[in-house]
Homo-oligomer: A and B are copies of this chain.
Amino acid sequence: MYDLIIIGGGPAASAAGVYAARKKIKTLLVAESFGGQSIVSQDIQNWIGTPSISGYDLAQSFETHLRAQEDIEIETGELIKTVSKEGDVFVAMTEGGKRYETKTVLITTGGRRRKLGVKGEKEFDGKGVAYCSICDAPLFGGKVVAVVGGGNAGLEAVIDLLPYATKIYLLQRSGALKGDAVTQERIMQDPKVEVIFNATTLEIIGDSFVNELVYVDTTTNGFDKLTTRETHHLDVQGVFIEIGSLPNSELVKDVAATTPYGEIEVDVYGKTSMQGIWAAGDVTNLKYKQNNIAAGDAIRAVLNIYDYLMYNK
Residues on A facing B (Cβ under 8 Å) = 11, 14-15, 18-19, 22-24, 45-51, 58, 61-62, 64-65, 68, 134, 137-138, 159-160, 163, 182-183, 186, 267-269, 286-288, 290, 292-297, 299-300, 303-304, 310-311
Contacts and interface: CB of A to CB of B under 8 A. Distances in A.
A293 B297 CA distance: 6
Given A51-B65, A183-B310, A290-B296, 10 more contacts: A47-B49, A48-B299, A134-B303, A182-B311, A186-B310, A287-B304, A288-B300, A290-B299, A293-B299, A293-B300
B49 A61 contact: yes
A65 to B, nearest CB: 5
A141 to B, nearest CB: 10
28 contacts: A14-B49, A18-B46, A22-B45, A22-B134, A22-B137, A47-B49, A48-B65, A49-B50, A49-B65, A51-B64, A51-B65, A159-B310, A182-B310, A182-B311, A183-B310, A186-B310, A268-B268, A268-B286, A287-B300, A287-B303, A287-B304, A288-B299, A290-B300, A292-B292, A292-B299, A293-B297, A293-B299, A296-B296
A174 to B, nearest CB: 24
Nearest to A266: B268
B48 A18 contact: yes
Contact of A14 (B19, B48, B134, B186): B48
Given A182-B310, A293-B296, A58 B49 contact: yes
Q: Which of A64, A186, A293, A311 has the most CB of B within 10 A?
A: A293
A294 B292 CA distance: 10
A50 B22 contact: no
A96 B277 CA distance: 50
Number of chain copies forming the complex: 2
Q: Which of A11, A15, A137, A288 has the most CB of B within 10 A?
A: A288
Contacts of A159: 310
Contacts of A295: 48, 292, 296
A46 B22 CA distance: 9
A269 to B, nearest CB: 7
Nearest to A164: B24
A99 B267 CA distance: 38
A311 B156 CA distance: 13
A79 B51 CA distance: 27
A1 B127 CA distance: 39
Contacts of A61: 49-50
Contacts of A22: 45-46, 134, 137-138
Contacts of A290: 296, 299-300, 303
Contacts of A65: 48-51
Contacts of A297: 293, 296
Q: Which of A68, A159, A300 has the most CB of B within 10 A?
A: A300
A181 to B, nearest CB: 11
Nearest to A66: B48
